[in-house]
Copies of this chain bind each other. A is one copy, B any other.
Amino acid sequence: MIGPTGGELLLRRLQSVAVLNPNETALILSLNQRPRRHPVRSQISADGFDSSGPRLIVSGWACRPRILPDGRCQILSTLLPGDLAGDTGDGRPLAQAAVIALTDMATVGARSVFDTIARDPGLYRNLGRGLQALGRMEEAQLLDHVVRLGRQSAIQRVAHQLLEFYHRCRAVGLVDGGRFPMPLTQETLADMLGLSLVHVNRTITQLKRQNMIEVRSGIAHISDVAQLALIADYPAADEKEGAPRFGDGSRSGGSELGEYTPASARQQSCL
Protein backbone atom coordinates (compact mmCIF):
# COMPACT_ATOMS: atom_id res chain seq x y z
CA MET A 1 0.00 0.00 0.00
CA ILE A 2 1.60 3.22 -1.14
CA GLY A 3 0.25 6.41 0.33
CA PRO A 4 1.37 9.81 1.53
CA THR A 5 4.56 10.06 3.56
CA GLY A 6 4.50 10.52 7.30
CA GLY A 7 5.48 14.17 7.15
CA GLU A 8 2.74 14.99 4.68
CA LEU A 9 0.08 13.37 6.83
CA LEU A 10 1.10 15.14 9.99
CA LEU A 11 1.58 18.43 8.21
CA ARG A 12 -1.94 18.21 6.87
CA ARG A 13 -3.38 17.73 10.32
CA LEU A 14 -1.29 20.47 11.86
CA GLN A 15 -2.19 22.98 9.20
CA SER A 16 -5.84 22.56 10.05
CA VAL A 17 -5.20 23.74 13.60
CA ALA A 18 -2.23 26.08 13.28
CA VAL A 19 -0.33 28.29 10.86
CA LEU A 20 3.21 27.05 10.52
CA ASN A 21 6.26 29.06 9.51
CA PRO A 22 8.80 27.66 7.02
CA ASN A 23 11.07 26.36 9.78
CA GLU A 24 8.23 24.47 11.31
CA THR A 25 7.05 23.06 8.02
CA ALA A 26 10.57 21.93 7.21
CA LEU A 27 10.90 20.27 10.58
CA ILE A 28 7.74 18.26 10.05
CA LEU A 29 8.71 17.32 6.53
CA SER A 30 12.01 16.04 7.88
CA LEU A 31 9.91 13.09 9.00
CA ASN A 32 9.83 11.78 5.46
CA GLN A 33 12.37 9.13 6.21
CA ARG A 34 12.12 5.51 5.33
CA PRO A 35 9.59 4.09 7.78
CA ARG A 36 10.00 1.14 10.08
CA ARG A 37 7.58 -1.73 9.50
CA HIS A 38 5.55 -3.45 12.19
CA PRO A 39 3.56 -6.66 11.71
CA VAL A 40 0.00 -7.01 12.97
CA ARG A 41 -0.25 -7.56 16.69
CA SER A 42 3.19 -6.21 17.43
CA GLN A 43 3.74 -3.51 19.99
CA ILE A 44 4.54 -0.06 18.62
CA SER A 45 4.92 1.72 21.89
CA ALA A 46 5.54 0.22 25.29
CA ASP A 47 3.52 0.54 28.42
CA GLY A 48 4.90 3.08 30.90
CA PHE A 49 8.13 4.92 30.37
CA ASP A 50 9.02 5.12 26.77
CA SER A 51 12.15 3.87 25.22
CA SER A 52 12.51 5.19 21.74
CA GLY A 53 10.36 8.30 21.78
CA PRO A 54 7.10 8.95 19.98
CA ARG A 55 6.48 7.49 16.54
CA LEU A 56 4.42 8.94 13.73
CA ILE A 57 2.11 6.49 12.02
CA VAL A 58 2.60 6.48 8.27
CA SER A 59 0.26 3.66 7.38
CA GLY A 60 -1.85 1.08 9.18
CA TRP A 61 -4.08 1.25 12.23
CA ALA A 62 -3.32 0.63 15.88
CA CYS A 63 -5.07 0.76 19.23
CA ARG A 64 -4.47 1.16 22.93
CA PRO A 65 -6.10 -1.87 24.55
CA ARG A 66 -6.71 -2.58 28.16
CA ILE A 67 -6.93 -6.26 29.00
CA LEU A 68 -9.01 -7.28 31.98
CA PRO A 69 -7.95 -10.08 34.30
CA ASP A 70 -10.64 -12.38 32.91
CA GLY A 71 -9.51 -11.90 29.33
CA ARG A 72 -12.03 -9.34 28.23
CA CYS A 73 -10.60 -6.34 26.44
CA GLN A 74 -11.59 -2.70 26.14
CA ILE A 75 -9.90 -0.58 23.55
CA LEU A 76 -9.26 2.90 24.89
CA SER A 77 -8.41 4.63 21.66
CA THR A 78 -7.37 4.05 18.08
CA LEU A 79 -4.45 5.39 16.11
CA LEU A 80 -4.66 6.13 12.41
CA PRO A 81 -2.12 7.35 9.88
CA GLY A 82 -0.97 10.81 10.91
CA ASP A 83 -1.39 10.06 14.61
CA LEU A 84 1.44 9.97 17.10
CA ALA A 85 2.05 6.92 19.26
CA GLY A 86 3.93 7.25 22.52
CA ASP A 87 4.65 9.87 25.10
CA THR A 88 5.33 13.27 23.60
CA GLY A 89 6.76 14.60 26.81
CA ASP A 90 3.91 15.37 29.16
CA GLY A 91 3.41 11.89 30.55
CA ARG A 92 -0.31 11.70 29.95
CA PRO A 93 -1.68 8.31 30.94
CA LEU A 94 -3.35 7.74 27.59
CA ALA A 95 -0.21 8.55 25.66
CA GLN A 96 1.72 6.21 27.90
CA ALA A 97 -0.54 3.24 27.35
CA ALA A 98 0.77 0.46 25.16
CA VAL A 99 0.06 0.75 21.45
CA ILE A 100 -0.62 -2.41 19.48
CA ALA A 101 -0.75 -2.74 15.71
CA LEU A 102 -4.14 -3.83 14.39
CA THR A 103 -2.81 -4.15 10.85
CA ASP A 104 0.62 -4.23 9.33
CA MET A 105 2.03 -0.77 9.90
CA ALA A 106 4.73 1.66 9.00
CA THR A 107 5.98 4.36 11.38
CA VAL A 108 8.79 6.87 11.63
CA GLY A 109 10.45 8.03 14.81
CA ALA A 110 9.44 11.54 15.79
CA ARG A 111 11.68 12.13 18.76
CA SER A 112 13.87 14.47 16.75
CA VAL A 113 10.96 16.82 16.19
CA PHE A 114 10.17 17.10 19.87
CA ASP A 115 13.82 17.47 20.78
CA THR A 116 14.22 20.27 18.26
CA ILE A 117 11.17 22.09 19.56
CA ALA A 118 12.38 21.72 23.13
CA ARG A 119 15.71 23.24 22.13
CA ASP A 120 14.15 26.41 20.71
CA PRO A 121 10.53 26.72 21.80
CA GLY A 122 10.30 30.27 20.54
CA LEU A 123 11.15 29.42 16.96
CA TYR A 124 8.66 26.55 16.94
CA ARG A 125 5.90 28.17 18.93
CA ASN A 126 3.06 27.52 16.53
CA LEU A 127 4.18 23.99 15.94
CA GLY A 128 4.28 23.34 19.64
CA ARG A 129 0.78 24.62 20.01
CA GLY A 130 -0.39 22.64 17.04
CA LEU A 131 0.94 19.46 18.55
CA GLN A 132 -0.76 20.29 21.81
CA ALA A 133 -3.98 20.76 19.88
CA LEU A 134 -3.60 17.25 18.47
CA GLY A 135 -3.31 15.98 22.02
CA ARG A 136 -6.48 17.82 22.91
CA MET A 137 -8.30 16.21 20.00
CA GLU A 138 -7.28 12.86 21.40
CA GLU A 139 -8.82 13.73 24.74
CA ALA A 140 -11.96 14.96 23.02
CA GLN A 141 -12.22 11.60 21.26
CA LEU A 142 -11.90 9.95 24.65
CA LEU A 143 -14.85 11.97 25.93
CA ASP A 144 -16.93 10.96 22.92
CA HIS A 145 -15.92 7.39 23.61
CA VAL A 146 -17.30 7.63 27.14
CA VAL A 147 -20.65 8.86 25.86
CA ARG A 148 -20.79 6.17 23.19
CA LEU A 149 -20.14 3.43 25.71
CA GLY A 150 -22.33 4.84 28.42
CA ARG A 151 -25.44 6.03 26.68
CA GLN A 152 -25.70 4.89 23.08
CA SER A 153 -27.36 1.84 21.54
CA ALA A 154 -25.40 -0.64 19.47
CA ILE A 155 -26.48 0.97 16.21
CA GLN A 156 -25.52 4.39 17.43
CA ARG A 157 -22.17 3.18 18.68
CA VAL A 158 -21.24 1.61 15.38
CA ALA A 159 -22.48 4.56 13.37
CA HIS A 160 -20.78 7.05 15.67
CA GLN A 161 -17.48 5.24 15.57
CA LEU A 162 -17.57 4.96 11.80
CA LEU A 163 -18.24 8.66 11.56
CA GLU A 164 -15.29 9.37 13.80
CA PHE A 165 -13.10 7.27 11.54
CA TYR A 166 -14.52 9.02 8.51
CA HIS A 167 -13.68 12.45 9.86
CA ARG A 168 -10.25 11.41 11.04
CA CYS A 169 -9.46 9.92 7.66
CA ARG A 170 -10.73 13.05 5.99
CA ALA A 171 -8.40 15.17 8.11
CA VAL A 172 -5.45 13.39 6.53
CA GLY A 173 -6.89 13.20 3.04
CA LEU A 174 -7.71 9.53 3.09
CA VAL A 175 -11.38 9.94 2.16
CA ASP A 176 -12.39 9.65 -1.46
CA GLY A 177 -16.05 10.32 -2.11
CA GLY A 178 -17.37 8.79 1.06
CA ARG A 179 -14.92 5.89 0.86
CA PHE A 180 -12.14 5.44 3.35
CA PRO A 181 -9.95 2.66 4.72
CA MET A 182 -11.46 0.76 7.65
CA PRO A 183 -9.30 -2.32 8.17
CA LEU A 184 -10.63 -3.31 11.60
CA THR A 185 -12.21 -6.69 12.12
CA GLN A 186 -15.61 -6.90 13.70
CA GLU A 187 -13.99 -8.43 16.73
CA THR A 188 -11.82 -5.38 17.20
CA LEU A 189 -14.82 -3.12 16.78
CA ALA A 190 -16.54 -5.16 19.47
CA ASP A 191 -13.67 -4.63 21.88
CA MET A 192 -13.82 -0.96 21.07
CA LEU A 193 -17.57 -0.47 21.40
CA GLY A 194 -18.18 -2.67 24.41
CA LEU A 195 -20.28 -5.13 22.41
CA SER A 196 -20.01 -8.77 21.42
CA LEU A 197 -18.61 -9.78 18.07
CA VAL A 198 -21.92 -11.29 17.04
CA HIS A 199 -23.88 -8.20 17.87
CA VAL A 200 -21.47 -5.96 16.01
CA ASN A 201 -22.01 -8.16 13.01
CA ARG A 202 -25.79 -7.95 13.23
CA THR A 203 -25.62 -4.22 13.75
CA ILE A 204 -23.39 -3.63 10.75
CA THR A 205 -25.61 -5.91 8.70
CA GLN A 206 -28.61 -3.83 9.70
CA LEU A 207 -26.88 -0.59 8.73
CA LYS A 208 -25.94 -2.16 5.41
CA ARG A 209 -29.51 -3.23 4.72
CA GLN A 210 -30.65 0.32 5.39
CA ASN A 211 -28.10 1.47 2.82
CA MET A 212 -26.42 3.62 5.43
CA ILE A 213 -22.99 2.08 5.05
CA GLU A 214 -20.95 -0.40 3.08
CA VAL A 215 -17.94 -2.23 4.46
CA ARG A 216 -15.95 -4.61 2.30
CA SER A 217 -12.37 -5.77 2.37
CA GLY A 218 -11.05 -2.99 4.50
CA ILE A 219 -12.89 -0.16 2.79
CA ALA A 220 -15.88 1.57 4.30
CA HIS A 221 -18.33 3.72 2.41
CA ILE A 222 -20.77 6.20 3.89
CA SER A 223 -23.19 7.42 1.30
CA ASP A 224 -24.99 10.03 3.34
CA VAL A 225 -22.86 11.36 6.15
CA ALA A 226 -25.52 13.73 7.44
CA GLN A 227 -28.13 11.00 7.65
CA LEU A 228 -25.80 8.66 9.50
CA ALA A 229 -24.81 11.48 11.82
CA LEU A 230 -28.45 11.94 12.64
CA ILE A 231 -28.99 8.44 13.93
CA ALA A 232 -25.64 8.47 15.70
CA ASP A 233 -26.16 11.76 17.51
CA TYR A 234 -22.93 12.78 15.88
CA PRO A 235 -22.52 16.53 16.13
CA ALA A 236 -22.96 18.33 12.83
CA ALA A 237 -19.43 18.98 11.63
CA ASP A 238 -19.02 21.91 9.30
CA GLU A 239 -18.13 20.38 5.98
CA LYS A 240 -15.64 23.16 5.48
CA GLU A 241 -12.17 21.75 5.92
CA GLY A 242 -9.68 23.45 8.13
CA ALA A 243 -12.11 24.97 10.57
CA PRO A 244 -9.86 25.55 13.58
CA ARG A 245 -11.98 23.75 16.14
CA PHE A 246 -8.96 23.08 18.28
CA GLY A 247 -6.87 26.09 17.47
CA ASP A 248 -6.57 27.14 21.05
CA GLY A 249 -8.99 25.02 22.97
CA SER A 250 -12.57 25.55 22.04
CA ARG A 251 -15.29 23.01 22.70
CA SER A 252 -14.97 19.37 21.85
CA GLY A 253 -18.04 19.28 19.71
CA GLY A 254 -20.36 16.75 21.27
CA SER A 255 -22.20 18.33 24.10
CA GLU A 256 -25.26 20.30 24.73
CA LEU A 257 -24.79 22.85 27.42
CA GLY A 258 -27.60 23.43 29.87
CA GLU A 259 -27.79 22.78 33.54
CA TYR A 260 -27.67 19.24 34.71
CA THR A 261 -31.14 18.50 35.95
CA PRO A 262 -32.05 15.01 37.06
CA ALA A 263 -33.31 12.89 34.21
CA SER A 264 -36.77 12.85 35.70
CA ALA A 265 -37.06 16.50 34.76
CA ARG A 266 -35.78 16.00 31.23
CA GLN A 267 -38.01 14.86 28.41
CA GLN A 268 -37.25 12.22 25.87
CA SER A 269 -38.07 12.39 22.22
CA CYS A 270 -35.70 11.12 19.56
CA LEU A 271 -35.39 7.49 18.39
Contacts and interface: CB of A to CB of B under 8 A. Distances in A.
Contacts of A194: 149-151
B70 A269 contact: yes
A259 B149 contact: no
A2 interface: no
A263 B73 contact: yes
Contacts of A264: 187
Interface stretch (A18-26, A106-114, A134-142, A216-224): A134-142
A41 B142 contact: no
Interface hub of A93, A102, A194, A263 (most chain B Cβ within 10 A) = A93
A41 B72 CA distance: 37
27 contacts: A42-B259, A47-B251, A66-B147, A66-B255, A68-B151, A68-B233, A68-B256, A69-B233, A69-B270, A70-B269, A70-B270, A71-B269, A72-B263, A74-B147, A87-B249, A90-B249, A91-B248, A96-B249, A97-B255, A98-B255, A100-B259, A142-B143, A142-B146, A146-B149, A149-B150, A187-B262, A187-B263
A147 B193 CA distance: 10
A45 B262 CA distance: 18
Counted per complex, copies of this chain come to 2
Given A260-B63, A267-B71, A136 B233 contact: no
Interface string A231-271: 00100000000000000111110111111111110111111
Closest 4 CB pairs of A and B: A91-B249, A150-B194, A149-B149, A70-B270
Interface of A: 41-43, 47-49, 63, 65-74, 76, 87, 90-94, 96-98, 100, 102, 132, 136, 139-140, 142-143, 145-147, 149-151, 185, 187-188, 190-191, 193-194, 197, 233, 248-252, 254-264, 266-271
Nearest to A188: B262
B68 A143 contact: no
B142 A259 contact: no
Contacts of A41: 259-261
A248 to B, nearest CB: 6
Contacts of A191: 263
A71 to B, nearest CB: 4
Nearest to A271: B70
B69 A255 contact: no
A256 B74 contact: no
A251 to B, nearest CB: 5
Contacts of A72: 151, 263, 268
